[in-house]
C-alpha cells in the first residue's frame, strides 16, 4: 500500500469526520474516525507507513479540534506500533477485533488527553459526565471502525493497492 493512498485516505476520512461533526451531535459527543484510520494503517501497512499515518492522524485531529498540537500523536503512534508489531498473528478481518482496537485507541486517546490536561495549570475535575463522554466516544469509534475499514479496503482494492480476492470455483 503506497504512502500517497494512505495520506489521501487520511485527508478524506478527516474531511468526512468534520462533515459528520457538523451534522451529528450526540449529547455533545462527536464521532471520532481517526482511530479507525490508525487501525487500518497498523493492520494492513508496513510499520513505517503505519507510524507515519498515526502521526499525521494525531496532528490533523489536534489541528482541527483546537487542542494542543501533538496531544494525540503519542497515543496514536504507540497504538499503531503495538498493533503493527502483532500484525502477523492478528486475524485482521475479524469485525470484533477491529471494533475493539478502534474503541481502545479512542479510549486511550481520551484518557491521555484528560491526564495531560489534569496536570496542566487548570486541572479538569474527574466527574461521571466526563467518564461517560469518554466511554461514548470510544463506543462510537468502536462501532464505526469495522465499517470504515471495509470502505478503505474496498477503496484500496479499487485503486489497485490491494490484491483481488480469490474467486472459488463451483463444481
E strands, 28-170, in order: none
Residue 168 belongs to some domain of the structure: no
Whole-structure pTM over 0.95, yes or no? no
Distance from C-alpha of 57 to C-alpha of 29, rounded to nearest angstrom: 19
The C-alpha cell that represents 37 in the structure block: 484510520
Residue 54 belongs to some domain of the structure: yes
Longest dimension (CA), the chain: 71
Task: Say what the pLDDT of residue 166 is.
Answer: 55
The C-alpha cell that represents 66 in the structure block: 483546537
Residue 87 belongs to some domain of the structure: yes
CA atoms within 13 A on the CB side of 168: 2
Supply the range of the domain harboring residue 23.
3-158
The CATH number linked to 108 is: 1.10.1760.20
* pLDDT lower than 50: segments of the chain: 168, 171
Assess contact for 25 and 48: CB atoms under 8 A.
no
Assess contact for 24 and 16: CB atoms under 8 A.
no
- Contacting residues for 127 by C-beta, under 8 A, at least 6 apart: none
Task: Say what the pLDDT of residue 165 is.
Answer: 58
Residue 165 belongs to some domain of the structure: no
The closest alpha carbon to 42, from 79, 97, 9, belongs to 79
Phi, psi at residue 57, to the nearest 5°? -60, -45
Residue 163 belongs to some domain of the structure: no
On the 0-12 / 13-18 / 19+ scale of CB atoms within 10 A, 133 is: middle
Task: Say what the pLDDT of residue 163 is.
Answer: 63
How many structural domains compose the chain?
Answer: 1
Amino acid at each position: 500500500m503506497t504512502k500517497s493512498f494512505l495520506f489521501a485516505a487520511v485527508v478524506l476520512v478527516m474531511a468526512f469526520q468534520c462533515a459528520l461533526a457538523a451534522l451529528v451531535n450526540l449529547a455533545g459527543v462527536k464521532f471520532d474516525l481517526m482511530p479507525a484510520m490508525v487501525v487500518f494503517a497498523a493492520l494492513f501497512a508496513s510499520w513505517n507507513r503505519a507510524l507515519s499515518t498515526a502521526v499525521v492522524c494525531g496532528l490533523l485531529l489536534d489541528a482541527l479540534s483546537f487542542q494542543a498540537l501533538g496531544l494525540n500523536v503519542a497515543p496514536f503512534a504507540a497504538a499503531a506500533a503495538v498493533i503493527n508489531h502483532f500484525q502477523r498473528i492478528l486475524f485482521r478481518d475479524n469485525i470484533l477485533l477491529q471494533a475493539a482496537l478502534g474503541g481502545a485507541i479512542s479510549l486511550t486517546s481520551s484518557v491521555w488527553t484528560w491526564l495531560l490536561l489534569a496536570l496542566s495549570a487548570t486541572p479538569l475535575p474527574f466527574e461521571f459526565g466526563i467518564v461517560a463522554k469518554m466511554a461514548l466516544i470510544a463506543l462510537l469509534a468502536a462501532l464505526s471502525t469495522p465499517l470504515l475499514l471495509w470502505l478503505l479496503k474496498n477503496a484500496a482494492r479499487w485503486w489497485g493497492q490491494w490484491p483481488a480476492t480469490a474467486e472459488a470455483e463451483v463444481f
